[in-house]
């Protein structure tokens, strides 16, 4: 009886194992099929076996696709640059056309043109006045007295320089700003565009630097390096104005 029961038990257990195997086999088949589909590569028309590493057809296709992408990128960059340049030119043209400051200066120039001023005064009046301001108030008041404050050991001279330096330098900045409008009116009276010259550019840079230079003394007590910056920046600004004067002389001679 024991032998029969063991065989019966073995007979019953084997179908269960085979049933489990049948249950697992469809899942495995589906997994293998999906992996085969995903791993399957598209065959090359030149290589049906698809077992070559350096296929000339595939390499040509890759190179051509890279060239196309590079060409498209270059075209996009050129289009962007051209559109940016066009918008900038359009904006500058619009600003130049509706510039209220230029319209104001043009009105003043038209008024002074009716006074029948001598030609030499119209051409050289502005350069002569600005030369006096540059050398007297700039060269002596701003540059010479400014360095005298730093270098002299004489207390009286230092006190005098400290009193005159800010007054003359401030007056120079005011006369430069007023003189700039006079110079632009002079060019408009001579039928010239005052905004299209290097003389105008250097003048605007100099006035902007003077505005920054005037704020530095406010930080003398808090930052000791502000004095050094004021001295060396002021020297550079005066050098810029001397270059500005040379460009103005060249502009006057060319008209």
Look-up: residue for tokens 């230029």? 102
pTM: 0.60
What pLDDT is recorded for position 142? 94
The CATH number of whichever domain residue 217 belongs to comes to 1.20.120.1770
Q: Is residue 244 part of a domain?
A: yes
Beta carbons of 255 and 127 less than 8 angstroms apart:
no
Question: pLDDT for 201-239, tens place per residue?
Answer: 999 999 999 999 999 999 988 888 999 999 999 999 999
| CA distances for 75 relative to 72, 80, 85, 104, 125, angstroms | 5, 9, 15, 44, 53
Q: Is residue 37 part of a domain?
A: no
Domains identified in the chain, total number = 1
Average pLDDT, the chain: 76
Beta carbons of 142 and 238 less than 8 angstroms apart:
yes
Mapped onto helix, strand or coil, the DSSP state of residue 190 is: coil
What pLDDT is recorded for position 18? 43
Q: Is residue 194 part of a domain?
A: yes
The torsion of the CA quartet 124, 140, 238, 156, rounded to 10 degrees, works out to -160
Look-up: residue for tokens 């039928």? 191
Beta carbons of 134 and 202 less than 8 angstroms apart:
no
Tokens of 173: 């900045």
Q: Is residue 247 part of a domain?
A: yes
Question: pLDDT for 92-129, tens place per residue?
Answer: 555 444 468 888 889 999 999 999 999 999 999 999 99
Distance of CA 244 to the CA centre of its chain: 24
Question: pLDDT for 44-71, tens place per residue?
Answer: 555 555 555 555 555 555 555 666 666 6
Q: What is the span of the domain harbouring residue 148? A: 121-254
Q: Is residue 14 part of a domain?
A: no
Q: Is residue 67 part of a domain?
A: no
């Amino acid at each position: 009886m024991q032998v029969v029961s063991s065989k019966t038990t073995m007979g019953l257990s084997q179908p269960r194992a085979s049933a489990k195997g049948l249950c697992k086999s469809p899942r495995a088949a589906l997994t293998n099929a999906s992996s085969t589909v995903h791993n399957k590569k598209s065959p090359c028309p030149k290589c049906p076996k698809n077992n070559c590493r350096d296929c000339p057809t595939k390499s040509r296709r890759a190179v051509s696709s890279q060239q196309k992408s590079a060409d498209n990128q270059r075209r996009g960059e050129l289009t962007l640059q051209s559109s940016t340049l066009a918008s900038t030119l359009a904006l500058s043209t619009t600003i130049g056309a509706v510039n209220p400051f230029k319209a104001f200066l043009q009105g003043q120039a038209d008024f002074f043109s009716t006074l029948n001023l001598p030609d030499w005064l119209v051409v050289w009046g502005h350069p002569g006045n600005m030369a006096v301001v540059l050398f007297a108030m700039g060269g002596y008041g701003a540059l010479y007295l400014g360095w005298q404050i730093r270098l002299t050991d004489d207390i009286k001279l230092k006190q005098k320089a400290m009193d005159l330096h800010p007054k003359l330098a401030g007056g120079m900045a005011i006369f430069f700003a007023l003189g700039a409008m006079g110079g632009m009116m002079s060019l408009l009276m001579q039928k010239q565009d005052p905004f299209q010259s290097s003389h105008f550019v250097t003048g605007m840079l100099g006035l902007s630097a003077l505005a920054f230079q005037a704020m530095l003394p406010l930080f003398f007590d808090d930052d000791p390096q502000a004095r050094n910056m004021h001295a060396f920046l002021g020297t550079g600004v005066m050098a810029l104005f001397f270059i500005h004067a040379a460009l103005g002389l060249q502009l006057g001679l060319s008209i």
